[in-house]
Chain A
Amino acid sequence: MKKTTHSCFLLIILLIRMVPSLSSTVNYTDPTLEPVATENSVIRQKIIDSQFKCYERMNRAPPYKKKGLFCNRTWDGWLCWDDTPAGRITAQNCPDYFPDFDPTERASKYCDETGNWFRHPESNRTWSNYTLCNSFTSEKLKMAFILYYMAIVGHALSITSLLTSLAIFFYFKSLSCQRITLHKNLFFSYVLNSMFTIAHLIAVVPNPGLVKRDPVSCKVLQFFHQYMLGCNYFWMLCEGIYLHTLIVVAVFAEEQRLHWYYLLGWGFPLVPASIHAVARARYFNDNCWMSVDTHLLYIVHGPVMAALLVNFFFLLNIVRVLVTKLRDTHRAESNMYMKAVRATLILVPLLGIQFVIIPWRPENRLAGEIYDYIMHILMHYQGLLVATIFCFFNGEVQGALKRQWTQYKTQWGQRRREHCSTRSTSYTATSITEVPVYLYHHDSNNEQLNGRYVEDSELVALKSGETSA
C-alpha cells in the first residue's frame, strides 16, 4: 500500500503544487539564488536547509577509498552529490522546491574521465542536468487530475452500491442469516471507509493552506482513515474465519456466537491505528500526516497484510477440505459449499494483490501509467466490487429480488395470481433436500427457510464421516 499510495499521492501532491499562484521564477538550467521575494522565501528556506544537510553529510561521510580518479563530493546549489568515480553519470531524485519539479523524476550529473564534474559548454561552469525534472509536468498534471477524479468517482460508486446492497439485506428478512450479518458489517465498514476517503480527497488534498496550518482535525481524520482501512480487511478476515469454522472445524455448526467477530472486526483495528498515531506523533509528525515516505505506515499495513495472508490460508484449507474429504462421497454438497466459498475466494486475492504488486511500478512511462490506472481501480473501486460479488451476484439475493418484482407485478396486474399457490406447494417438496440456507443456492425458485437447520440423512452421514475422519 505504501508505494501505491506513494505514486497515488505524489501525483496528487503534484496536483496541489500546480496551484497557479506559485509560479516558478527560476532558471532551471543553472541554479542561482534569486533575490528574496515573499513567495520564494519558503523555497529558499528549503534550499538552505538542504545545503546545510549537504555540508554536514560531506563532513561526516568517510573519504573516498576506491582507486582511480573521482570527482569530489559537492553541493551544486540544489542537490548534494557524493564522490563519484571518473567517467560515470550519477543520478538522484529531483528536489521538490519548485511547483513544477516532479520528485519522482531523476536529476543527473556527469563526472568526466579527468575527475572533474561536467561543465556546461556555454557558461563553462559545473552543471547538473535538471531538465527531466520539469519536462513532463503538464502531462503528469493531466493524469493526476484524471486519477483524482477517478478516485472520487470510485468511492462514490462504491458508497451507492454498498448502500443499495445494505438496503436489500435489511429489507428482505428472508435472506438474513449469520453470514449475511457479517456481510452487512463488512459493507458498513466499506461505506465508512469510502466516506472518510472522499472527505480526505476533497477537504485536505487540494487545500495546501489547510495542510500548512496543520490543525488537529486533519490528523484525526487520518487516524480514522487508517482505522477504517483496518476494519475493512479485518471484516474480510472475519468472513473467512466464519466460513472456516462452518465448514472445516465443525460442519453445520449451529449458530455461532458472533461477539468475537464483532470484536475482531470493529474493535481490534483500533490497536494498529492507535499505535500508528502515537508513533507518527512522536517520530514523524509531518503536516496532517500526509506523507507516505515513512515506514511507520507499515504499522497499519503490516497487520492488514497479515490478515489477508491468514485469510487466504484459511480459504485454501477450506477448499482442500471440500475437495479431498467431500469430493468422493458427496459431490453435490461439495459443489454447493464451493459456491459459498467461491465469492470470498475471489475477493481475497483481488484485495490483496495491490499489496503484492506495489513494489514493482514499471519504469517505462506508458507501462507506468497503465500500472497507475490499474492500482487506482483496485484501490478505489473495492466497495463496488465487494457489493457486486457478495450481493448482486448472489443467487439468493437475485431470487428474492425476482420474487419481489413478481409480487409487485401481481399487486398491480391481475396476472399470475396462481404463481403464489404453486410456489407454496413446491416449498414442501423441495425444502427437504436443500442444504442449510447459510450457503448459496443456484436454483432460485425455492423458498428460503429462515436460518433453520434441515435435518437430512445425507447430512447426518456427512457429519459422522467428518468425526471419524
Chain B
Amino acid sequence: AHHFIAATACQEADYSWMIRHYCLKQFQLSMEGIGQQLWCDWDETVGTYGELTNCTALIAERLDCYWPNRLVDEFFVAVHKQYFRNCSPSGRALHDPPNSILCPFILLPVLVTLLMTALVVWRSKRSEGIV
C-alpha cells in the first residue's frame, strides 16, 4: 500500500477549502433553518451536526486523507465557537448534580439515620421499668 500513499498524499489546503465551501455552507443553511434559539437544543441539531461530520469524512475519503485529522479538529473548534458557544457544557450526558446539591442529598439521610438511632436507643432505655 506504500505506493498509493506516496502518489496521492493528502492535500491539506484543498481539504480545508473543500470542507469550508461544501460542508460548512450546507450546515449554515440548516442551522439558519432551525433558528438561533434552538441551536443549543441537541435533539434539534443532532441531525445537522451528524451530516456535517459525514460530509467532512466523505471529502476526506475522496482526497485520500485520513479522518479525523488536525484540520478537522480546527474546523470543528471554529464551528463550535460560532454556533455552540453559549450552550451549557456537557448538558447531553447524564451526570451527577453539582456538589452543592449532591452533598445535602447525601448528608441529610445520614444525619436522619443517626438521629433516628439515638431516638430508638433513648426510647428503649426509657421503656423499661427496672433499674
Residues of chain A having any CB pair with chain B under 8 Å? 30, 32-33, 44-45, 48-49, 51-53, 55-60, 72-77, 122-126, 237-238, 241-242, 244-245, 249-254, 256-257, 260-261, 263-264, 268, 271-272, 275, 279, 283-286, 291, 294-296, 298-300, 302-303, 306-307, 310, 463, 466-467
Contacts and interface: CB of A to CB of B under 8 A. Distances in A.
Contacts of A58: 73, 77, 80
A250 B92 contact: no
A268 B116 contact: yes
A334 to B, nearest CB: 18
Contact of B80 (A30, A55, A261): A55
Given A275-B105, A283-B96, A303-B110, 19 more contacts: A52-B84, A53-B92, A56-B84, A56-B89, A59-B80, A59-B85, A72-B73, A76-B68, A125-B69, A241-B124, A245-B121, A245-B124, A256-B128, A275-B108, A284-B96, A296-B96, A298-B106, A303-B109, A310-B117
B68 A75 contact: yes
Contacts of B90: 53, 56-57
Nearest to A463: B131
Given A59-B81, A123-B66, A256-B127, A241 B121 contact: yes
Q: In the complex, which range does the number of interface residues on chain B fall in?
A: 35 or more
Q: Which 9 A-B pairs have the closest CB atoms?
A: A125-B66, A253-B128, A303-B113, A272-B109, A250-B131, A257-B127, A283-B97, A260-B120, A302-B110
B101 interface: yes
B125 interface: yes
B101 A283 contact: yes
11 contacts: A49-B93, A53-B93, A55-B77, A55-B80, A56-B80, A75-B68, A75-B72, A122-B1, A256-B128, A296-B105, A298-B106
Contacts of A33: 53-54, 57, 67
Interface string B83-112: 011010110111111000110011111101
A284 B114 CA distance: 27
Interface string B16-56: 00000000000000000000000000100010011001100
A286 B94 contact: yes
Contacts of B112: 271, 303
A33 B95 CA distance: 27
A305 to B, nearest CB: 8
A119 to B, nearest CB: 10
A284 B94 contact: yes
A303 B70 CA distance: 50
A77 B57 CA distance: 10
B49 A52 contact: yes
B77 A249 contact: no
Contacts of B130: 250, 252-254, 463
Given A48-B49, A302-B110, A56 B117 contact: no
Nearest to A237: B117
Given A59-B77, A249-B125, A48 B46 contact: yes
Nearest to B117: A310
Given A250-B125, A264-B116, A307-B117, A57 B89 contact: yes
A244 B121 CA distance: 9
Contacts of A268: 113, 116
A124 B127 contact: no
B67 A32 contact: yes
A74 B73 contact: yes
Given A45-B46, A122-B1, A250-B131, A75 B121 contact: no
Contacts of B114: 306, 310
B7 interface: no
Contacts of B69: 125-126
B3 interface: no
A58 B96 CA distance: 21
A76 B67 CA distance: 8
Nearest to B97: A283
A33 to B, nearest CB: 5
Contacts of A51: 53, 76
Nearest to B118: A310
Contacts of B105: 275, 279, 296, 299
A73 B72 CA distance: 12
B46 to A, nearest CB: 7
Given A75-B73, A77-B68, A306 B46 contact: no
Contacts of B68: 74-77
A264 B117 contact: yes
Contacts of A466: 131
A291 B107 CA distance: 21
A55 B116 contact: no
B5 interface: yes
Nearest to A303: B113
A72 B70 contact: yes
